[in-house]
Structure 1
Amino acid sequence: MNVLILSQHYWPETFRINEVAESLQRAGCQVRVLTGQPNYPEGTIFPGYRAGAMTTERHPMGYTIHRVPLCPRGRGGAKRLVANYLSFLFSASVLGPWSLRGQRIDVIFVYGTSPILQAIAGIILKWIKGAPLVTWVQDLWPQSLEVTGFVRNPRLLGVVATVVRWIYRRNDLLLAQSQAFVPAIQTMAGRTPVEYHPNPGELAFIQPATDTAPALVLPDGFNVVFAGNFGTVQALDTVIDAAERLRAHADIRFVLVGSGSRGPWLAEEIERRGIENVVLAGRFPPQAMPGILSQADAVLVSLTRGEILGQVVPSKIQAYLAAGRPIVASLDGEGARVVLEAGAGVTAPAEDAQALAEGILRLHAAGPEARQAMGDSGRRYYEQHFDPERLAERLVRRFRDLAVLRRKSGTGTGDAEETYKP
């Protein structure tokens, strides 16, 4: 089966779709990827690439990546982000079909991160290639635009909703990364089937730590590790407030591993407050994370408060479950539900620094054996619900159903005969 993955962001950028492609390849698919020039998260084009180039390259796994031009994100700002998104949409829609000329495509699979508008390029390719279109919705539009404050005008939000409905209804299948997403998507999707398909765990995070020295050696004491993007929705001010509340506990330390737009603010805030129990460790490749996480006494995930964010399961939860470390989750809704259902740690309401500090103290007091039991329980939950290879096999079966149905009907309406149950 020939699967085209359409995603604005792709390797060497670090996104979960990279490993989904590898899992699909191992499951027997012939994978191609249509993407842009890598520039996330720093906003500058990676060395060896050019913003205005249209190129093809071979991934180390052996499949082909087709890259189209785009305007890099730069250092942020609404205008640069809009230019970044729209330039990829234009290039993928106009130049993408040319780059893919002569290539047989059985299924088009859109990795639907924000903005969902990139799926328009998938619709165009569906018309040209005659292949069923599947979009894996990672973020709800227009709700997320309103929650983040990126768009506040009700009329403009209404226009976005109309466009999203148009996109959804031209898919053959919509996959939701969270169970809580399904009703919201279904109300806009018309007759297009909507089904739950979670983000799998990151393969690099589930590899056992090697005997070689870890890329980062954590100091003695009780280390709470946050790994990932330093962005606005990660509620890092809540993390800093919790750390300040725990200053009297000399052995408790927060180790923040990663980078992002709020990195400079973090460094300034730590210095301004004179907080000594927070370490900014820098960014490390995914392959280094097992060795770092294996040293953690607890791992931390945090999000800001909001109806939409309460429906999201952050992908780092899967990574933490796979790593087998106890989790302290400062968030609401689906993410908290998964942690509690897995028996993998403790939760605190989003943006509640006092509750977060108390949760960390509970883990601290629980002792090594109890924390290990939480980590083991999380690992078992991960294997049952988020194992990448199992999820890839289910995805391939669904792709085959759609391809067969489209060949039989010639319509591609997406009314599949079987229900996909991950």
Structure 2
Amino acid sequence: MKILLVTQYFYPETFKSTDLAFELQKRGHEVTVLTGIPNYPEGKIYESYGFFKNRKQNINGVKIIRSLLLPRGNGGGIRLFLNYYSFAFFASIKAFFLGISNTYDAVIVHEPSPITQFYPALLLKKLWKTPVYFWVMDLWPESLSIAGGVKNKMVLGYYESVVKNFYKNSEKILITSKGFRKSINEKGDFDSKIVYFPNWAEDSISEGDKNYPIPTLPDGFKVMFAGNIGEAQDLDNIMKAALELKQHKKIKFVLVGDGRKMPFVKEFIEENQLQETVHLAGRFPVEAMASFFNKAEVMLVTLKDDPIFNLTVPAKVQAYMSASKPIVAMLNGEGAENIKESESGFAVNAGDYKALAETILKASELPKEELEKLGQNARKFYEENFRMSECITNLENILNAKNQ
């Protein structure tokens, strides 16, 4: 098939869209990616990219076309608005010309947020009737209200109408969490379009180089958090749990990644003198994760206690499972249920930092063999539910159903 993937985020930014494009191309499909100039998460355009540099590329056989956008900067509300809509505007222009010179069997919209990434695909749908497959990884306008702090009813009402229109113009709506179904169906009769399409872990994590060079990590019982350090991840309560465990010197929190909450984390560490027990490793490529994970005793996943997050399964759950690591979680909903069902670790309620601290302390006292068993359970559950090869095969079947 000839496939266009529309996504604001793509390699060298670390998102599932990269896996999807490269794997589909490897399987013999002709894949073009319409994306933005990489600037996530720092908010600055990556080195070797720019308004006049590497706007067109070919990587692993995938044709990449990079639309203009305004970088997200420090992630403030106005700057994010301009970042989102500048991509939607300029990518729609690119999509118009792509539609004139190409006929696509399918357009896939990768939407971890914002919802505005759908606009270029909508143009192709309206002008050339190209079927659009909407890969929903974040619910709007709920996310705008809860994570973005937007409370204006007119604004939320506007985005609800936009979302309904996008769902209406989708051939299929691919959801990463079964809990999304209820929210989507509340906006219209879309149940027949909805297909469960879970996240997977990158091969570089599950089968990566465990000897990738990384900084020396502290000795002790390492509780590792890897990924975006943002508002949704509830760093406030992670830090409170670390403070609760301050006197237990053998327990070391290791944070791998970066994001909007990093200034808060650094300030909290400084104010509470947690330098001995909280280690900030910094941001590293996906290829380094196997090496980091290999050094950890348990992996940490957290989400705030909000209705939208309770419907979400963080992608790091699959990543941790793929690496055969036991998991400590502070979250509600489907993510917690996965951990309990798989018997791969421990889950406490979202926001309950005291219970998190107690759970970590108990985990640190478990025999090594028991932790290894939890890790084995995690890997087994991953192989049965979240392998990339099976997920992509499922997607091919979904796309083929329309084109047969």
- Superposed, 1:137-156 pairs within 5 Å as 137-156=136-155
Q: What's the % identity of the aligned pairs?
A: 38
Matched, 1:323 2:312: no
Any idea what the Cα deviations from partners look like across 1:236-292, whole Å, max 9, x if unmatched?
Answer: 111111111112222110011111111122112101111120001111111111111
How far the C-alpha of 1:144 sits from its partner, in A, is 1.2
Matched, 1:239 2:227: no
Q: Which moved more, 1:97-106 or 1:313-322?
A: 97-106
Any idea what the Cα deviations from partners look like across 1:183-224, whole Å, max 9, x if unmatched?
Answer: 2112324356111111111221101544x4641333321111
The residue that corresponds to 1:75 in the other structure is 74
Residue-pair matches, total: 402
The residue that corresponds to 1:206 in the other structure is 206
Q: Rate the CA distance shift 1:181–1:280 in 2: closer, same or farther, 3 A.
A: same
How far the C-alpha of 1:129 sits from its partner, in A, is 3.9
Distance in 2, matches of 1:213 and 1:94, equals 41
The residue that corresponds to 1:34 in the other structure is 34
Conserved? CA contact 2:10–2:35, under 8 Å: yes
The residue that corresponds to 2:90 in the other structure is 91
Conserved? CA contact 1:73–1:81, under 8 Å: yes
The residue that corresponds to 2:168 in the other structure is 169
Q: Rate the CA distance shift 1:52–1:144 in 2: closer, same or farther, 3 A.
A: farther
Conserved? CA contact 1:45–1:51, under 8 Å: no
Distance in 2, matches of 1:100 and 1:215, equals 44
Distance in 2, matches of 1:200 and 1:28, equals 21
The residue that corresponds to 1:420 in the other structure is none
3-state SS of 1:259 partner: coil
The residue that corresponds to 2:131 in the other structure is 132
Bigger relative contact order, structure 1 or 2 (CA pairs below 8 A, ≥6 apart)? 1
How far the C-alpha of 1:113 sits from its partner, in A, is 2.0
Q: Rate the CA distance shift 1:213–1:202 in 2: closer, same or farther, 3 A.
A: closer
Matched, 1:357 2:374: no
Matched, 1:378 2:384: no
3-state SS of 1:195 partner: strand
How far the C-alpha of 1:149 sits from its partner, in A, is 4.5
Query: Which amino acid counterpart does residue 339 of structure 1 have in structure 2?
Result: I
Q: Rate the CA distance shift 1:115–1:150 in 2: closer, same or farther, 3 A.
A: same
Q: Rate the CA distance shift 1:322–1:245 in 2: closer, same or farther, 3 A.
A: same
The residue that corresponds to 2:110 in the other structure is 111
How far the C-alpha of 1:38 sits from its partner, in A, is 0.7
Give the gaps of 5 or more residues in structure 1.
Answer: 405-422
Conserved? CA contact 1:105–1:129, under 8 Å: no
Q: Rate the CA distance shift 1:68–1:236 in 2: closer, same or farther, 3 A.
A: same
The residue that corresponds to 2:302 in the other structure is 302
Any idea what the Cα deviations from partners look like across 1:104-148, whole Å, max 9, x if unmatched?
Answer: 311100001212122121111123343211001111111111112
Distance in 1, matches of 2:146 and 2:212, equals 43
How far the C-alpha of 1:360 sits from its partner, in A, is 0.7
Q: Which moved more, 1:296-305 or 1:27-36?
A: 27-36
How far the C-alpha of 1:94 sits from its partner, in A, is 1.6
Query: Which amino acid counterpart does residue 82 of structure 2 have in structure 1?
Result: A
Any idea what the Cα deviations from partners look like across 1:36-57, whole Å, max 9, x if unmatched?
Answer: 1111111111122224779321
Distance in 1, matches of 2:95 and 2:62, equals 17
- Superposed, 1:275-290 pairs within 5 Å as 275=274, 276-290=276-290
Query: Which amino acid counterpart does residue 397 of structure 1 have in structure 2?
Result: N
Distance in 2, matches of 1:84 and 1:99, equals 22
Distance in 1, matches of 2:153 and 2:139, equals 16
Query: Which amino acid counterpart does residue 372 of structure 2 have in structure 1?
Result: Q
Distance in 2, matches of 1:230 and 1:20, equals 24
Q: TM-score, normalised by structure 2?
A: 0.96
Q: TM-score, normalised by structure 1?
A: 0.92
Cα RMSD of the aligned pairs, angstroms, is 1.6
3-state SS of 1:320 partner: helix
The residue that corresponds to 2:15 in the other structure is 15
Any idea what the Cα deviations from partners look like across 1:19-51, whole Å, max 9, x if unmatched?
Answer: 122222233322110001111111111122224
Distance in 2, matches of 1:252 and 1:138, equals 33
